[in-house]
Amino acid sequence: MNDITVVPVPARVEPASGVSFTFSADAVISSDSAGVGAYLASALRAATEFALPIVEGGPQSAISLRLDGDSGDSGDFGDFGDEGYELVVDAERVVVRARTEAGLFYGVQTLLQLLPAANGPWTVPGGRIVDAPRFAYRGAMLDVSRHFFGVEVVERFIDAISRYKMNVLHLHLSDDQGWRIAIEKWPELATVGGASQVGGGAGGCFSQADYARIVDYAAARFVTVVPEIDMPGHTNAALHAYPELNADGVAPAAYTGVDVGFSTLAVGRDVTYDFIRDVLTEVAALTPGPYLHIGGDEAQSTSTEDYLAFLDRVQPIVGELGKTVVGWHQIGPARTVSGRVAQYWGHGPAPDEDVLAAVAQGDRLVLSPADRVYLDMKYTRETPIGLDWAGLVTTRTAYDWDPDRLIPGAMVLGIEAPLWTETVATVAEIDLLTFPRLPAVAELAWSPQDAREWNDFRARLAAHGPRWTLLGIGFHPDPEVF
């Protein structure tokens, strides 16, 4: 295991020199988790064409996935927690052990990366890996509002992030250009508010069944969906569908541009809060995860007084629904509520006053600095799509920083890489901007700081190019990596 190309880099690797295990056609998978066992078998069958029957529980087999309350002897590494795992490979078998199914799933991702990308022989280097994540929240965001992407595309994105042990999918479901989730009590959000996108075109909207399918697909890969209903700004699509939510009661035209800051809900009207309660109630009922994201950014058309009063009314609604408030860091000056999470998207050498206000109130932070992890930023001036208002973001830029040093005094819950889609309209464009930067952010969020080093990372990452090609994932050939 000395030369493994696993991403994220594991916390601890103990090679066994001269030892390896080779899968044979008669190999059997023994698993304490039906779901994780089936996932592994499906991945291995596609590559090896072996039968790989699964036995739930039972004796140790060629491949054993074990749920173990003690999770092995972690030695001087210490307690590796609910998402950690131990992977042991000797000449006779491969054993993954973890406390939870999520830990088993992450161990399986490491196992799959230890195997060749194609063609065999299907040999795993011998040794032991003990691994656990640095941060609890390891996320990526897909903006389906600026350009709409259907269920299959979202599922493909979930597959991509989960292979790198990311466990949060933030879906940006509403914005000026389009509303993307059906709400039964406000049906024209879907039929009218969802019928546009950047540059024109048909737009689209998830039915509640579509959204439930996404949530279930994510859960099977231990990914939590965080839905965002952006407010009080970024609301033109809702105002277009329901003019009573606008201060003058007049429906604005559908918006297909990319400017921001011009829209606002009528924060002084009771109907606005009836609307918000109805929307959040339906979204919460469809979302088993703990978080509801209420946006809160770029509300330039809302006065400061109205903005703070608005959040004082909206944040408690989230709590009443049994969820935790997440908002962009502009919510920082508003009075906090229990467990609140502020998502920092600033850029530059110093954090602004809003995020410092959030820190001062004890909010936990999800870090999404735009000049580091915004996947919609261009790699270079020549990148054919993307933006550059926060600068150019190479793979090294995304990788080579320490989250604990970004904002003094912050309680960092985790990292999230947002992909805004003003310039992104196809799956190929998603791929181009996501890879190879997404694995860089994944390692930043998972691996211990002292285990990360750029030159080592880029060598490991380069080996993933052939894997992406086999999966049909296009990527930017970053000259610093490939």
pLDDT tens digits for range 116-159: 998 889 999 999 999 999 999 999 999 999 999 999 999 999 99
Long-range CB pairs of 222-225 (<8 Å, 24+ gap) are 222/101, 222/102, 222/105, 222/106, 222/162, 222/167, 223/158, 223/161, 223/162, 223/166, 223/167, 223/168, 223/169, 224/167, 224/168, 224/169, 224/289, 224/290, 224/291, 225/168, 225/169, 225/171, 225/287, 225/289
> Measured between alpha carbons, how far is 389 from 52 in angstroms, rounded to an integer?
50
Contact 87, 115 (CB under 8 A): no
Does residue 13 have a pLDDT over 80? yes
pLDDT tens digits for range 43-79: 999 999 999 999 866 556 789 999 986 655 545 545 7
Contact 66, 101 (CB under 8 A): no
pLDDT tens digits for range 234-259: 999 999 999 999 999 999 999 999 99
Q: Is the pTM of this model over 0.85?
A: yes
Give the helix/strand (H/E) hosting 186: none
> Measured between alpha carbons, how far is 482 from 460 in angstroms, rounded to an integer?
10
Q: Which domains does the chain have, with CATH numbers?
A: 12-131 (3.30.379.10), 137-453 (3.20.20.80)
CA–CA distances in Å: residue 457 to residues 146, 400, 437, 468:
33, 10, 12, 17
315: how many CB neighbours lie within 10 A of its CB?
21
Q: What share of the chain in percent tops pLDDT 70?
A: 96
* Residues labelled catalytic: 298
